Amino acid sequence: MNVRKQKLLFLKRFVNDMESFIPTMEVRHLSKGDLWQVRELALQIFPVTYKGIVEEEQIDYMMELFYTPENLVKQFESGQVFLVIDKGGTPSGYASYTLLNEKGEYKLNKIYVDTRLQGKGLGRSLLNDVISRVNTAGGKSLQLNVNKYNKAVGFYKSMGFTVKKEELLDIGRGYFMDDFVMELVL
């Protein structure tokens, strides 16, 4: 065997061996009984995401408003579709989306990735999965709300979303969400 063939054979074996070390990513659709996974992830991710953007009391209130087991079930029963992305078999992020109207407009209600894993393609994979599901369902657009000061604004722009408008939402108890409404036309 000549040297060139030996090198190619070595590289092929090396790549095959390395593929077994690369953790796989998988997006899973959640049932009502799986919503506890969203809550567990939210307890880790949500407070870190909003620290420095909103006050700790507002974070606590938003956790209560969006992530108690009862409120997650209500969201599920109202039509939100929940997804989790696993990296190497470990739940590492979540998303949910909803059909807004008969015109085919959808809303991305939530998308969060473990802050230690951000920048590694999980958010992009998860959002691409949502976009694919919305496209398959005949969706015409995907909208989202994002805090104006959240670094994710740049991520959404890189994914093709544009700012449609600004919105100040009263979420109760004197708290507000100061958001951009962004949209991706499909």
Domain of residue 137, CATH code:
3.40.630.30
Domain with 32, as residue range(s), is: 23-185
- Written as six digits, the tokens of 150 are 């959240």
Residue 141 and residue 155 in contact, taking contact as beta carbons nearer than 8 Å:
no
Residue 168 and residue 59 in contact, taking contact as beta carbons nearer than 8 Å:
no
Summarize pLDDT for 38-51 with one digit per residue, the tens.
Answer: 999 999 999 999 99
Confidence of residue 18 (pLDDT cuts 50, 70, 90): very low
Q: What pLDDT sits at residue 13? A: 65
Domains of the chain: total: 1
pLDDT at 82 over 90: yes
Least confident range from 22-26, 28-32, 74-78: namely: 22-26
Question: pTM for this structure?
Answer: 0.87
